[in-house]
Structure 1
Amino acid sequence: MGKFKARELINKQLLSRKRNNELKFLGHIFTSLSLGIISLNTIFPASARTSEELISCDMLIVGAGLSGSAAAYEGLLAGKTVCLTELTDWVGGQISSQGNSAFDEGKQQRSLQHFSRGYNVLRNNIARFYNRQNPGECWVSESCFLPSHGHQLLYKQLKKAEQSGNGTLKWFPSTVVKEIELSENNRLIQSAIAIQHSPTDSDLYLHKEPLSHTIKDIYSYSDSERFKKRIIRFQAKSQGKSSTNWFVIETTETGEIIALADIPYNLGLDPLNHFNPSSPTKNRDPYCLQGFTYPFAMERTASSQNQSKPKFYDKYKPYYGYDNDRRLAHFDLVFTYRRIWTPRKGRLVKTGPLKVNEPSSGDISMQNWLWGNDYRPGTSQDNLVYTRQQLKEKGQLEKGKWEGGLRTETLRKGEELSLGFYYWLVAGTTDSRLGNNIKKPSLNHRLLKGLSSPMGTKHGLSKYPYIREGRRIIGRPSYDHPNGFSVNEIDISTKDYWNNFYRTSLPRPMYQRVWSTIANLESRIMTLSNRPSYLVTRRTHATIYPDSVGVTQYMIDFHPCMVLSPPEKSGNLERREVRVAHGSAHPAQIPLRAMIPQKIDNLIVSGKNIATSHIAAAAYRVHGFEWSVGAAAGTLASFSLEKDILPYELVDDLPKQEPNLQKFRQILENNGNPTTFPQAMMFSYLQNN
């Protein structure tokens, strides 16, 4: 037999054996399927990726909240190609998809209109749209408005910036990042793989079900009965060897890219130390974050409405209450607190300790109330934002296994708490804080639902919860922070650290370090009173940073986690002493070092994810701050592209002079994005006390 014939016979025998083995394997599979031993997902994993669509950008902004929108705004005005992704289909975050459409602002900053240029444009656009700054005549803010209009106005603002600056906006609503791919040296993000979902039919699942029902589907590569999936790979616009050919800007609400990149970050309570002397714990507590909220909108009606008690209401009833302050136990006080629309300005009437514009039929109120729809988990059994260890245990840090990093069950319970709070407001008769015989029903209201409602959902809740706190990066070691940069309590707080609480509760060596640190910070600038540092009893101004790229002003404001699990458990209490740090704060700066993460050089961190302690984060989380830090991030990406420089190179020689840092700060100032406050405002505490 010739060699060719022999090889042909061998090949036929091998092919026959292969086919027999395949048939045996398939028979085994079909038997296992019929017995329920395995599922099709075991054979064909649901996470299997389909074909990708390549999209190129100068900057990829992940998260279209206020910070992400601000970054996009500045990038577009600078003529860049901006890819902007968002889990929901609205831009604006707090003012739109999260339903918190009531600007939280410091009085001094607001009186001077000392905000970033884009934020001022947004405020003015709202005033022009309604022909008044405060269409809701709310008393918590000087501007309360409909979340749906927040999205519409901000998106138009971005499109106008695109036209004015000759930039290109590539908007990707309903899109989440699933994976990131790093360079060989793990210093650069080379690409990001994302999933965009769209409804399979006219039922519009995007708005039909709350997030807890859809989040796992949203992060799955596979099509489902709800969604069709589009797989997108984002990459640099110009492919080359340069390390500065594109930038990724992290502005998600919980720090998703921070977790995916597995860079150093903090979560929850920081340990007690001389930088944060009001911290309630000697050790870190990554489970105790500030509460999250699902706002909803309700309308005052001319007549009584039928109110349906949710089946889960009794489970959460022990939580609901007006507040510890009996003076606030008035329905109309709560209703007008965040009233976002009124067709007419009512007469002033005394309600509890305040005078408010009397509500009338047609008024719409947005609800975001501490002892109402604030869900405040604080244990490892119910925390919302998974820790790094929890992510590892659940496999979410494995390639292609990311599912958003949130506990779905806690999301669901937050949604139920909010819907139950509406029922408590209009029909409840108990009060967890003040006891019985306080709460009276007010049945002439209705929960606003539907695609044309203020929240734009069929269930009536916001599209995404209002998140107060997520993952916070640890900045790179710096000349004054050798263990990693961070903005801390003593950098901004007005507290008197000489009072008895700190004298008696802090260990003596720590107490002395608090004062030596404060004295050192105070001595960096001549105070108005020209006092020697040893006579200083508290901060007279916030820390002044040589690398400041933005400004913010708000009090240190806490919505503490609860002690027991679940949060709604009868008799549950807030975590003790978290509110010790609660109080006023100086007008403060946003240092560039707080935006630069460790390990990855082309990642810029913005929004609530910058390097702060949990105490400083309680002040660095409001609307004006988000815009200011976002404007800095978008400008930084543009500047770095044009100068062919990485962000850390602007600050790596501090405290020496950094010429590129000075050029960058000047660009921000010239563009109407302030990096400092007027001196009189910085020292306002001394002037007013």
Structure 2
Amino acid sequence: MKRRNFITLVSAGSGGLLLTAPVKSSALANANKKNKVSPGGLSADVIIAGGGMGGCATALAACRNGLSVIMTEETDWIGGQLSQQGVPPDEHSWIETHGAPSSYRDFRNRVRAYYKRNYPLTEGARNRENLNPGDGSVSRLCHEPKVAVAVLLEMLHPYMSSGKLVLLTEHKIYRADVTGDMVKFVEATNLKNNQKVVLEAPYFVDATECGDLLPLTNTEYVTGTESKKQTGELHAPEKGNPKNNQAFTLCFAMDYQPGVNNIIDRPEDYSFWSNYVPEMTPPWAGKLLDLNYSNPRTLEPKELGFHPEGVRTGSVLNLWNYRRIINKNNFAPGIYDGDITIVNWPQNDYFLGDIIDVSEKEFKKHIEASRQLSLSLFYWLQTEAPRPDGGLGWPGLRLRGDVMGTNDGMAKYPYIRESRRIKAEFTILEEHVGAENRKLVAGEEAGKKAAGFYDSVGTGYYHIDLHPSSQGDNYIDFGSLPFQIPLGALLPQRMNNLLPANKNIGTTHITNGCYRLHPVEWSIGEAVGSLIAFARKKKTLPRAVRENRNLLEEFQGWIRSQGLETHWPG
């Protein structure tokens, strides 16, 4: 990117952070004139839509390898599911040493260093190598969303300062100009003032949460469930349904003040949600707002516990501890009055409507309904949840909007589990990664390992975890095997300069259930950013890197030298 002429931007929501970007090209000038947008058209080597885990990793890899990047994000926080969606990381048990790129472990180490540098920790917490600020049971590193934002900005800031990276928060891409198999430019809108800007680049990356660039660019994609006839997968249904997507969740943060009455106004839809019994196949365990749910593995009723002071609740899981992001006992006395926890539970999964490929009005309707569900769950916890002493409700529970960066305590954006998915050069099936299906196709001994991919560009692991769906499927949850990320799953069948970097890669509805987690998103994004840089260097297309075995092996060796993992040890 030539840097002889610059304009200066202050990105909305960036807290006054000064960003620089090149003046528009003549092509952008013509596009701006034609579409009546602002004169501030921008160009770079790569345009990334979406500042989540995959988007940030793409930007880091591209900038590290000399490319200029413009990244848009429709909220005012980068970090995706880790920050704006309020979901502490779901990770595998080997994450501290392998199974993700070294840059992801660097991010995790920086989070711990941030707490040790800035927070008054107890001596024991400060000396703990693998500090877990919240000691939440879901992860070895449960922490505040704002810390994720701060650390990611810290990692990106050298490139922002040098002008290699422009970050446009509170911007969303609504239009794309496409000629044949190539995206020419996209048009983003500032969501605060409706000002539009045209963005031009040789490469575009869809790192949005729902795969929003795919329909805008006419990139072929699939949604929902495939049939058993289509994929041959063991757990696929007999009949596919493109509208059958996993539940999404509007998470929230809360703490507890004993003896204080923090009861909120009764939510508008509380009567509906407090009596709602999900209509599922197989059946749900009872009412949605209750301390039981369908066991994901067996679908039998499973009892849960809740106590906001973190005490044991018999032999059942205390939900308070599950996604706890602050354990007050890790900090100096008096810093925190109590713990802080994130609510992303079965009880606030929203599955009464689909938000993929619907109108904006329909999208907003379901997001508001999910807000009412989460508010109703919180009100139920305050007023009706059973206590160990036989009473009902915990009035001292308090919504923590400051933790989530919102006024109402809800997350800035819903936690999206399933996106549009590209029709890829290679699609990852259950037989490649599912433990049971793998043995059926590969045999007992070979089936102990996931399929090996000659074009692997990353690794990951999570069990196949499908939450209840918008068309009435109950949980689908079963074992998988430590897997690889094949380059073919990152390549659209036709488009040459648009790549996916989130949950929108070439998986099925089934395999999306283990490729949708935090470190896997990061691994996908870093592979995509590296692929673009390598293809530019070799003056070829990304798909050609996969088609030429010598080029592919050179690329794999190159990314391994930069800390990406292509194989599991052993």
Identify the residue that residue 182 of structure 1 maps to in structure 2. 178
RMSD in angstroms over aligned alpha carbons?
Answer: 2.5
Question: Which of 178, 181, 193 is residue 187 of structure 2 equivalent to?
Answer: 193
Question: SS where residue 453 of structure 2 aligns?
Answer: coil
Identify the residue that residue 149 of structure 2 maps to in structure 1. 151
Distance change (3 Å), C-alpha of 1:336 and 1:668: same
- Alignment partner of 1:369 is 2:345: yes
Question: Which of 638, 663, 672 is residue 554 of structure 2 equivalent to?
Answer: 663
The unaligned stretches of length 5 or more in structure 1 are: 1-46, 199-227, 237-245, 347-359, 395-402, 432-436, 477-484, 499-514, 520-532, 564-573, 680-689
The amino acid across from 1:144 in the alignment is C
How far did residue 384 of structure 1 move? Answer: 1.5
Identify the residue that residue 322 of structure 1 maps to in structure 2. 291
Mapping of residues 593-632 of structure 1, within 5 Å: 593-632=488-527
Question: SS where residue 336 of structure 1 aligns?
Answer: helix
Taking the aligned partners of 1:473 and 1:62, their CA distance within structure 2 comes to: 15
Comparing 148-157 and 622-631, the one that deviates more:
148-157
Identify the residue that residue 232 of structure 1 maps to in structure 2. 197
On the 8 A contact 1:496/1:538 being kept in 2, the answer is no
Taking the aligned partners of 1:676 and 1:385, their CA distance within structure 2 comes to: 33
Identify the residue that residue 465 of structure 2 maps to in structure 1. 557
How far did residue 497 of structure 1 move? Answer: 7.6
Question: SS where residue 665 of structure 1 aligns?
Answer: helix
How far did residue 407 of structure 1 move? Answer: 2.1
Question: SS where residue 98 of structure 1 aligns?
Answer: coil
On the 8 A contact 1:182/1:190 being kept in 2, the answer is yes
Identify the residue that residue 571 of structure 1 maps to in structure 2. none
Taking the aligned partners of 1:170 and 1:177, their CA distance within structure 2 comes to: 15
- Alignment partner of 1:489 is 2:430: yes
The amino acid across from 1:231 in the alignment is K
The amino acid across from 1:673 in the alignment is L
Question: SS where residue 232 of structure 1 aligns?
Answer: strand
Identify the residue that residue 315 of structure 2 maps to in structure 1. none
How far did residue 280 of structure 1 move? Answer: 4.7
Taking the aligned partners of 1:344 and 1:335, their CA distance within structure 2 comes to: 15
- Alignment partner of 1:140 is 2:138: yes
Question: Which of 245, 267, 277 is residue 310 of structure 1 equivalent to?
Answer: 267
The amino acid across from 2:460 in the alignment is T
Identify the residue that residue 73 of structure 2 maps to in structure 1. 86
Aligned residues: 491
On the 8 A contact 1:103/1:144 being kept in 2, the answer is yes
Distance change (3 Å), C-alpha of 1:154 and 1:605: same
Mapping of residues 493-512 of structure 1, within 5 Å: 493-495=434-436
The CA deviation string for residues 333-371 of structure 1, in whole angstroms up to 9 with x for no partner, is: 11111111122149xxxxxxxxxxxxx94211111001x
Percent sequence identity is: 29
Taking the aligned partners of 1:575 and 1:542, their CA distance within structure 2 comes to: 26
Identify the residue that residue 383 of structure 1 maps to in structure 2. 354
Question: Which of 374, 388, 413 is residue 464 of structure 1 equivalent to?
Answer: 413
- Alignment partner of 1:106 is 2:108: no
Taking the aligned partners of 1:160 and 1:125, their CA distance within structure 2 comes to: 15
Taking the aligned partners of 1:678 and 1:497, their CA distance within structure 2 comes to: 20
Runs of 4+ in 1 over 6 A off after TM superposition: none
Taking the aligned partners of 2:563 and 2:159, their CA distance within structure 1 comes to: 15
Taking the aligned partners of 2:47 and 2:391, their CA distance within structure 1 comes to: 49
Mapping of residues 171-570 of structure 1, within 5 Å: 171-183=167-179, 186-198=180-192, 228-236=193-201, 246-273=202-229, 275-308=231-264, 309-317=266-274, 318=276, 319-324=288-293, 325-331=301-307, 332=310, 333-345=318-330, 361-370=337-346, 372-377=347-352, 382-386=353-357, 403=360, 407-429=363-385, 440-449=392-401, 453-476=402-425, 485-495=426-436, 515=440, 518-519=441-442, 536=444, 539-561=447-469, 563=471
Taking the aligned partners of 1:276 and 1:619, their CA distance within structure 2 comes to: 18
How far did residue 229 of structure 1 move? Answer: 2.3
On the 8 A contact 1:550/1:632 being kept in 2, the answer is yes
On the 8 A contact 1:258/1:265 being kept in 2, the answer is yes
Distance change (3 Å), C-alpha of 1:320 and 1:647: same
How far did residue 637 of structure 1 move? Answer: 1.0
On the 8 A contact 1:54/1:232 being kept in 2, the answer is yes
Mapping of residues 62-73 of structure 1, within 5 Å: 62-73=49-60
TM-score, normalised relative to structure 1: 0.68
Taking the aligned partners of 1:78 and 1:116, their CA distance within structure 2 comes to: 16
Question: SS where residue 227 of structure 2 aligns?
Answer: coil
The amino acid across from 1:547 in the alignment is D
The CA deviation string for residues 127-174 of structure 1, in whole angstroms up to 9 with x for no partner, is: 1112352111111111111111111111111114567xx671101000
Question: SS where residue 488 of structure 2 aligns?
Answer: helix
How far did residue 117 of structure 1 move? Answer: 2.1
How far did residue 189 of structure 1 move? Answer: 0.6
Taking the aligned partners of 2:558 and 2:450, their CA distance within structure 1 comes to: 23
Question: Which of 673, 678, 687 is residue 564 of structure 2 equivalent to?
Answer: 673
Question: SS where residue 109 of structure 2 aligns?
Answer: helix
The amino acid across from 2:115 in the alignment is Y
How far did residue 277 of structure 1 move? Answer: 3.0
Distance change (3 Å), C-alpha of 1:426 and 1:593: same
Question: SS where residue 277 of structure 1 aligns?
Answer: coil
Distance change (3 Å), C-alpha of 1:607 and 1:277: same
On the 8 A contact 1:494/1:538 being kept in 2, the answer is no
On the 8 A contact 1:635/1:668 being kept in 2, the answer is yes
Identify the residue that residue 38 of structure 1 maps to in structure 2. none
Taking the aligned partners of 2:537 and 2:569, their CA distance within structure 1 comes to: 30
Distance change (3 Å), C-alpha of 1:497 and 1:488: closer
Taking the aligned partners of 1:489 and 1:497, their CA distance within structure 2 comes to: 7
Identify the residue that residue 206 of structure 1 maps to in structure 2. none
How far did residue 630 of structure 1 move? Answer: 0.5
Identify the residue that residue 169 of structure 1 maps to in structure 2. 165
The amino acid across from 2:175 in the alignment is E
The amino acid across from 2:221 in the alignment is Y
On the 8 A contact 2:243/2:470 being kept in 1, the answer is no
The unaligned stretches of length 5 or more in structure 2 are: 1-33, 117-124, 126-130, 277-287, 294-300, 311-317
Distance change (3 Å), C-alpha of 1:154 and 1:257: same
TM-score, normalised relative to structure 2: 0.81
On the 8 A contact 2:257/2:396 being kept in 1, the answer is yes
Identify the residue that residue 58 of structure 1 maps to in structure 2. 45
How far did residue 299 of structure 1 move? Answer: 1.0
The amino acid across from 1:545 in the alignment is F
Taking the aligned partners of 1:373 and 1:538, their CA distance within structure 2 comes to: 40
Question: SS where residue 365 of structure 2 aligns?
Answer: helix
On the 8 A contact 1:76/1:162 being kept in 2, the answer is no
The CA deviation string for residues 407-427 of structure 1, in whole angstroms up to 9 with x for no partner, is: 221111011111111111221
Identify the residue that residue 585 of structure 1 maps to in structure 2. 480
Identify the residue that residue 511 of structure 1 maps to in structure 2. none
Taking the aligned partners of 2:363 and 2:342, their CA distance within structure 1 comes to: 25
